[in-house]
Amino acid sequence: MNPAAPGAGTQTMVLIAFLVFVGVTLLLCVLVGPEGDETADFYTANRTLTPFQNGLALSGDYISAATLLGTTGIVAVNGYDGVTLALSTALSLGVLLLLAQPLRNAGRYTLGDVFALRADGAAPRIAATVVTLAVSLPFLVVQLSSAGTATALMLGLTHSGVQQFCTVLVGMLMVCYTVLGGMKGTSLVQIVKVVLTLGTVLAVVLSVLARFHWDVDELLAAAVKGSGRAQSYLRPGLRFGDSAEGWLNFVGLHLTVVLGASCMPHMIMRVNASPTGAAARRSTRYAVGMVGAFCLAVVVLGLGAVALLGGRLISAVDPNGQAALLLLAGNLQGGTGTTAGGALFTAVACAVFVTVLAVVAGITLAAAAALAHDVAAGAVRRGRMPQVAEVRAVRWSVGAVGAVGIGLAVAAQGYNLQFLSSLAVTVAASAVLPALVYSLFWSRYNRTGLLWTVYGGLLVSVGLHLFSPTVSGAPDALFPNVDFHWFPLQMPGVVSVPAAFLLGWAATVRSRRTEGEPAFDEVRTRTLLGADAE
């Protein structure tokens, strides 16, 4: 019997809670969705969200299943290394805090709008679309696959066919939310998700601390004992080892998380939904506080899981610790067989479900917007596509992106897809962040430098990942039975991020500005004052 599976009574509670949540949120998406066929309404909700509302939605975009389940599990299994990962996750929004105001002032809807400020023609928008899809699709696949597995587990079902059905169901709901609600509808789902998730996490944290008489030292001592690794649990190196490669992996992981997690395209689109640059900065400050509190809670949850359940049980259910939070919720309040324990498990199950659903909706909207706004309206129609046609195009794009994501997630069911999260964040840190920094702040930056930064960072990131131990040559790789890796690091960000900055600099210095490229004075005025930004 799977120790993470709830009892029959709890399964019924979970199913009813899922159905109620889906019904209510779909109705709300219909009620608050776009009233007409205006691009500003669909992409940015006409920028009517207050800074606090957008801050809630921004933190909702940021808190994914990888954070809620993955980081909790890493803390439980790897101790110190997991705690530092939670810290890096919170620090990452500091990068967005620095960029939020100039990014909102310079941008309009998508990443392509920012790139187009520094280069003319279709190439910058196509490059933005390519990198948006390269970040969004891997993250979408791993989120949908995890959603299918977790949803089936929470309902007490483990058959692979059931998991695939749950994956398709979550994907179809994601498409409905995005098509019906646009930015306003997905924002509403994000706000509901943050309130529910933070409230649930707080309840579980309080239950954990109560078990240890509100004594953090007692919790730490029990976690060290439960881990079975008393000598190394609270020291660095448990996840990657103490070798030179291990330390480079450790640095690469934190570098990519800090620089890449907040520069993913759906986060940038969320910033562009703010009415002004100052409002974008205030929204980001709210998000920093909420995400910081959430990451602190994740540390307590991970330590509580290993203290109460033991590292051996957690690893037996999932070697990566993904089930640690569900196992912990089932253990607290007398187990899922009691009313209190069943209610707590149901709350955690709903929090996980809504977390996945909200994040994949935001990712899908960003990817679809890139296809419709940057490719169809910007590159093909040269900005002459009517708004009605563009909104129709983005809705069809939502369906296309959703279908591809669902198909890939179903086909990949049963594989270890955790490297896809790392790939997405590495591409964001290596291709998106350098291009944004150069575009916003370097006066000499030009079209050639932009393309070399984006495509160079993308190719280095993907190439090193494909030939790393995360894909082949290791027991927990995507293909554990073959070995074609030659790059020794699991986290190539330590190489790809500097390489992207260097490629952008070298290409810019060795090329000349072409005729028609916007002058930097215009860009600087816009980033400072928001001139002509809608």
* pTM recorded for the entire structure: 0.90
Whether 196 contacts 60, CB under 8 Å: no
Token code pair at residue 347: 């709350």
Which amino acid would we find at residue 497? V
Q: Return the number of other C-beta atoms located less than 10 Å from residue 407's C-beta.
A: 15
Which two structure tokens, joined as six digits, stand for 386?
A: 């009517």
Under 8 Å CB-to-CB from 192, ≥6 apart: which residues? 25, 354, 358
Walk me through the domains of the chain, giving residue ranges and CATH numbers: 8-529 (1.20.1730.10)
Low-confidence ranges of the chain (pLDDT < 70): 1-11, 156-158, 333-342, 513-518, 530-534
pLDDT value for 514: 65
pLDDT tens string 300-338:
999 999 999 988 888 888 777 888 888 888 888 565 445
Nearest by Cα to 198 from 351, 93, 323: 351
DSSP one-letter code for 416:
-
- Tokens of residue 195, six digits: 């309130």
- The predicted structure's pLDDT at residue 304: 93
Report the distance separating Cα 376 and Cα 262, nearest Å. Answer: 27
CA dist., res. 387 & res. 373, Å (int): 10
> Using CA atoms in the order 318, 323, 329, 330, what is the torsion angle rounded to 10 degrees?
-50
Residues 173-227: tens digit of each pLDDT:
888 888 888 888 888 888 988 998 999 999 999 999 999 999 999 999 999 998 8
Neighbours of 247 (CB within 10 A): 15
